[in-house]
């Protein structure tokens, strides 16, 4: 991480100390939460190097930080952010592993910690599952890295067999044969952490994949698995959260298709649309906003989700990946049905508890949701017709 | 034309403000749908009917998004804007008004856009609104809502890669510039045919239409029958014939077989129906198959005759749906077995029903007659045997028309009260249009 000058480094470290002190004071009730949170966000902004991808991650984390309220959450999120930042730029196996583990363990700890009241046992159970599975996968990856070190004597990432890195990354993303933890986790963790989990690791891992790393193997089988399981698995789900966990798996499959066909610009477009959708989805206050979310995820025009999918399909067609494209189109139709079902549940049946969200909590979440909605619908309308 | 869309989006935003006072919203919505009607009448006035090309073309900047009107589109847009105030008179809830105004924006945009991707986006965007409209619990059925969305979605997902192929082939999706090389025409043609065959229902993929028309509220049925089917027709005329003409010629045997089968099948199916709305819906399929056949015959009169039949059908079918809606309001059932002898207690309504049934059968003095004669002429120029067969089969349409009318209007009187003034006024514009077009077509 390169800072421009020693003064800036000094300022960053000083700010970090201030934040720690502030967090401890927060625990004792001396300082207001908003100020500490603001300081954390400023600190994030300052330690980011001057590249677009890092700033995207920084912006996302700043927005996500807005919905957390406790001392441990802020601390671990900052730590996780540092891990992600280093991972984006890592070209060494060890640094990749360390940063990935840092980020994962932050999420694991937060899963267990942020429970409130009755859902404590669910959160702890989910955290344990995630911990065990990710520890197993990371352990296997570590073994492979050490075997490679023994064989070749170097820890550079380029020029090695990249299969295990691929597997570890796909596991963390929640890609289909290894998706079961995400389905369980989505149902059990509090909403702010769910928002973090479904956006930030995906952004950092895909950015790492697209910019710093080259994969030698085709991920076609993972794409097919993800899309099919994501489309069909949601049919039996009773809970909204697990339904959207499966829709996330479907979307990850689509993003993998974008990576597979080397359409990285389409990857970023669809990823950003997906992140905005997730932000809106888990911050809802109104059933119309939910309609926008669900229709955008389903890929119906005129919302932005259609354009994200359309660009991915377009790119897939231009590189002639016809069979994958056909599978993707089929899975779009399959997933449309459960989106319609959820929309119908919200809108058509006149039950008293469903459609009226008790207009919740902070002004901040409300403003973020509204801002996102405004950005949402018309932004992609202009885009296809230019160029 | 741009003014029209602008007016509508303006009305849309104004709808958001008074949400509590339903009466104000209602009048606002009604006025908001009258404005495009006047704007389009002005467009009609300034239209130069002697030219062959597109007029009032608006190209946005350096993008390839363009809007333009030709005669077919102009007449269909006028039909749309006449039908929407009628729909507005039938609605009762604020959500309904919002939905319909949104639908009007989308449909008017889809009728005048010259860009294939834009057309796709606009008519797909109406799908979710139709889902909410049809799936509403007390009147509608969820089954029908799923069917319409899934059928149209599958068809349009077939179009999507085709669209990308057109783009990579021609560099643009604007129909003004698209001329396609012949080696890609088959694939492009099949893609376009897939989605348009679902929309203007041809035989194997017509199954959504009876259920959707039955399950929609009255205003929704009026809209579906009057306008949305015509989107398929204009898709054929505007996007398929100019872009893939050789494919159209080569697929004509298949399309004509499908049209014939769907005509016969829907006409004969109607005789077995016991739901009044389904009778009208199946007759819509029959008319639309004749429109498709006329378009694909590509003879001298084909565009004119098919658009005239579309307009005629767009006046008569909504009127029939309105009458059935009135009967439903009285009796809360649509089953034909419950209605009998309405001629005694509802004379005005039965007169109207009789007149529009005659219109449906293509009786002379009605625009359907002129339109069907012209369609048959244009088919006759290409394929004489098919035209003979269609002439003969036209008679079958009379069978279900008169059977339905007989069951409803004659017989032992069990009468609901007669048609009220409001309801009469909703049908009145359509009646005037039908009578005028029937005796003085343009």
Contacts of B259 (CB under 8 A, 6+ apart): B202, B203, B289, B290, B292, B293, B296
Q: Which domain holds residue A370?
A: 218-356+364-386
Q: What is the mean pLDDT of chain A?
A: 79
Cα(B141)–Cα(B220) distance, integer angstroms: 13
A346 in a structural domain: yes
Contacts of A45 (CB under 8 A, 6+ apart): A58, A62
Of B9, B93, B81, B75, give the one whose Cα is nearest residue B39.
B81
Q: Which residues of chain B are within 8 Å of residue A301 when distances are taken between CB atoms? A: 120-122, 124-125
Task: Name the residue among A295, A329, A386 with its Cβ closest to that of B128.
Answer: A295
Q: Distance between CA atoms of A316 and B428, rounded to whole angstroms?
A: 53
Residue whose C-alpha is closest to residue A75's, from A8, A132, A126, A27: A27
Q: What is the pLDDT of residue B129?
A: 85
Chain B residues touching chain A at CB-CB below 8 Å:
60-65, 115, 117-118, 120-122, 124-125, 127-128, 131-132, 135-137, 142, 145-146, 149-150, 153-154, 157-158, 160-161, 164-165, 167-168
Chain A residues with CB inside 8 Å of B125's CB? 300-302
The answer to whether residue A268 sits within a structural domain is: yes
Q: Cβ separation of B135 and A344 shorter than 8 Å?
A: yes
CB contact under 8 A, A325 and B63: no
Which of B63, B115, B132 is facing A347, going by the closest CB pair?
A: B132
Q: What are A253-268's pLDDT values in tens digits? A: 999 998 888 778 888 8
Parent domain of B180: 1-439
- The number of beta carbons lying within 10 Å of the beta carbon of residue B395 is 10
Closest by CA to B323, choosing from B365, B367, B277, B366, is B277
CA nearest to A316 within chain B? B161
Q: What is the pLDDT of residues B44-79, one digit of tens each?
A: 777 766 555 565 566 655 556 677 777 788 888 888
Q: What integer pLDDT is reported at residue A249 of this predicted model? A: 92
- Residues in chain A with CB shorter than 8 Å from the CB of B191 are none
B163 vs A318: CA distance, rounded Å = 12
State how far the Cα of B374 lies from the Cα of B380, in Å rounded to an integer. 10
| Residues of chain B where predicted confidence (pLDDT) is lower than 70 | 1-22, 48-65, 137-140, 170-183, 413-422, 440-442
For residues B370 and B307, give the distance between their C-alpha atoms in angstroms, rounded to a whole number: 12
Is residue B63 within 8 A of residue A385, CB to CB? The reply is: yes
pLDDT: which is higher, A353 or B326: B326
* Backbone φ, ψ for residue B66 (5° rounding): -140, 145
- Per-residue model confidence (pLDDT) at position A1: 46
pLDDT confidence of residue A353 = 47
Residue A244 vs residue A284, higher pLDDT = A244
Dist CA A344 CA A337 (whole Å): 10
User: Per-residue pLDDT averaged across A112-135, rounded?
Assistant: 82
Cα distance from N-terminal residue to C-terminal residue, chain B = 22
Residues of B in contact with A300 (CB under 8 A): 124-125, 127-128, 153
Answer yes or no: is pLDDT of A227 > 60: yes
Across the interface, of B120, B135, B158, the residue whose CB is closest to A348 is: B135
| Cα separation, B69 vs B4, whole angstroms | 13
> Chain B: residue nearest A315 by CA?
B164
C-beta atoms of A340 and B132 within 8 A:
no
Q: How many domains, chain B?
A: 1
Give the SS3 label for residue B335.
strand
Domain assignment present for residue A132? The answer is no
Label residues B333-357 b or e (16+ Cβ within 10 Å = b): ebebeebbbbbeebeebbebbbbbb
Residue A207 lies in a domain: no
- CB-nearest to A301 from B124, B132, B136 is B124
Chain B residues in contact with A302 (beta carbon < 8 A): 121-122, 124-125
- pLDDT on residue A331: 92
Q: Write the pLDDT tens digit of every residue in A154-188.
A: 777 765 667 778 888 888 888 888 888 888 888 88
Give the residue ranges of DSSP H helices in B135-244: 142-170, 185-199, 208-215, 218-223, 229-235, 241-243
Q: Is B160 within 8 Å of A329 when comparing Cβ atoms?
A: yes
Q: What pLDDT, on a 0 to 100 scale, did the predictor assign at position A366? A: 56
Which residue intervals of B204-271 are DSSP H helices? 208-215, 218-223, 229-235, 241-243, 245-270
- Strand, coil or helix: what is B58? strand
Tell me what pLDDT residue B159 has.
Answer: 86
If DSSP codes are grouped into helix, strand and coil, which group holds residue A92? strand
Helix (H) and strand (E) counts for chain A?
Answer: 16, 0
Residue A84 is assigned to a structural domain of this protein: no
Q: What angle do CA A200, A203, A207 make, to 5 degrees?
A: 145
Q: What is the pLDDT of residues B426-435, one digit of tens each?
A: 777 777 777 7
Number of structural domains found in chain A: 1
- Model-wide pTM > 0.80: yes
pLDDT reported for residue A250: 92
Residue B152 and residue B198 in contact, taking contact as beta carbons nearer than 8 Å: yes
């Amino acid at each position: 991480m390169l800072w421009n000058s020693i003064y800036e480094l000094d300022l960053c470290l000083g700010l970090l100390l201030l934040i720690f002190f502030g967090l401890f004071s927060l625990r004792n009730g001396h300082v207001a939460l908003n100020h500490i949170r603001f300081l954390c966000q400023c600190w994030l902004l300052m330690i980011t190097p001057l590249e677009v991808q890092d700033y995207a991650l920084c912006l996302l984390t700043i927005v996500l930080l807005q919905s957390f309220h406790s001392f441990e959450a802020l601390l671990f999120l900052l730590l996780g952010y540092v891990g992600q930042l280093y991972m984006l730029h890592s070209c060494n196996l060890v640094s990749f592993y360390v940063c990935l583990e840092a980020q994962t363990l932050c999420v694991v700890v937060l899963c267990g910690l942020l429970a409130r009241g009755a859902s404590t046992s669910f959160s702890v159970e989910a955290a344990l599952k995630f911990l065990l599975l990710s520890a197993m996968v990371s352990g296997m990856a570590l073994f492979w890295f050490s075997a490679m070190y023994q064989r070749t004597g170097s820890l550079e990432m380029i020029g090695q067999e990249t299969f295990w890195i691929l597997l570890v990354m796909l596991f963390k993303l929640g890609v289909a044969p290894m998706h079961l933890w995400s389905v369980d986790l989505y149902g059990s963790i509090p909403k702010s952490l769910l928002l973090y989990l479904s956006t930030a690791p995906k952004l950092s891992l895909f950015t790492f994949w697209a910019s710093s790393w080259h994969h030698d193997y085709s991920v076609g089988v993972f794409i097919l698995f993800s899309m099919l399981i994501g489309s069909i698995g949601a049919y039996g789900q009773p809970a909204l959260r697990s339904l959207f966990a499966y829709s996330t798996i479907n979307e990850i499959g689509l993003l993998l298709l974008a990576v597979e066909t080397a359409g990285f610009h389409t990857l970023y477009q669809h990823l950003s649309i997906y992140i905005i959708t997730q932000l809106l989805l888990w911050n809802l206050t109104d059933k119309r906003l939910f309609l926008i979310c669900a229709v955008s995820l389903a890929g119906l025009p005129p919302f932005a989700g259609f354009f994200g999918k359309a660009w991915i399909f377009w790119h897939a067609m231009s590189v002639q990946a016809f069979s994958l494209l056909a599978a993707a189109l089929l899975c779009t139709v399959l997933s449309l049905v459960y989106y319609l079902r959820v929309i119908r549940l919200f809108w058509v049946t006149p039950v008293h508890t469903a459609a009226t969200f008790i207009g919740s909590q902070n002004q901040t979440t409300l403003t973020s949701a509204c801002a996102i909605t405004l950005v949402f619908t018309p932004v992609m309308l202009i885009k296809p017709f230019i160029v | 034309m741009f003014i029209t869309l602008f007016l509508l989006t303006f009305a849309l935003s104004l709808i958001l403000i008074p949400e509590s006072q339903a009466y104000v919203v209602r009048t606002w919505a009604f006025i908001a749908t009258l404005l495009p009607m006047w704007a389009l009448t002005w467009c009609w006035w300034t239209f130069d009917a002697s030219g062959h090309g597109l007029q009032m073309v608006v190209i946005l900047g350096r993008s390839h998004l363009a809007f333009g009107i030709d005669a077919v589109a102009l007449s269909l847009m006028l039909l749309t804007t006449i039908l929407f105030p009628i729909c507005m008179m039938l609605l009762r809830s604020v959500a309904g008004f919002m939905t319909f105004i949104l639908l009007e924006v989308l449909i008017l945009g889809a009728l005048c856009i010259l860009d294939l991707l834009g057309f796709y986006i606009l008519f797909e965007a109406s799908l979710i609104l139709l889902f909410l409209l049809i799936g509403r619990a007390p009147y509608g059925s969820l089954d029908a809502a799923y069917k319409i969305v899934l059928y149209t979605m599958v068809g349009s997902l077939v179009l999507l890669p085709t669209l990308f192929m057109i783009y990579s082939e021609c560099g643009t999706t604007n129909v003004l510039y698209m001329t396609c090389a012949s080696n890609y025409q088959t694939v492009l043609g099949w893609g376009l045919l897939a989605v348009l065959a679902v929309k203007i229902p041809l035989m194997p993929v017509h199954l959504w239409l009876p259920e959707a028309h039955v399950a929609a509220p009255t205003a929704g049925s009026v809209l579906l029958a009057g306008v949305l089917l015509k989107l398929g027709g204009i898709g054929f005329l505007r996007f398929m014939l100019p872009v893939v003409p050789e494919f159209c010629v080569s697929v004509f045997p298949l399309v004509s077989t499908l049209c014939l089968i769907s005509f016969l099948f829907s006409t004969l199916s109607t005789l077995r129906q016991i739901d009044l709305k389904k009778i009208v819906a199946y007759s819509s399929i029959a008319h639309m198959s004749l429109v498709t056949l006329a378009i694909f015959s590509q003879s001298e009169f084909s565009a004119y005759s098919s658009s005239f039949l579309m307009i005629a059908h767009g006046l008569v079918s909504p009127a029939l749906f309105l009458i059935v809606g009135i009967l439903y309001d009285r009796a809360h059932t649509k089953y034909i077995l419950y209605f009998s002898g309405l001629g005694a207690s509802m004379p005005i309504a039965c007169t109207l029903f009789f007149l529009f049934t005659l219109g449906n059968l293509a009786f002379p003095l009605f625009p359907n007659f002129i339109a069907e004669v012209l369609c048959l002429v244009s088919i006759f120029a290409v394929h004489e045997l098919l035209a003979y067969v269609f002439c003969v089969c036209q008679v079958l349409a009379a069978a279900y028309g008169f059977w339905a009318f007989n069951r409803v209007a004659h017989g032992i009187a069990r009468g609901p009260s007669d048609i009220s003034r409001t309801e009469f006024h909703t049908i009145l514009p359509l009646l005037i249009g039908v009578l005028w077009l029937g005796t003085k077509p343009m």
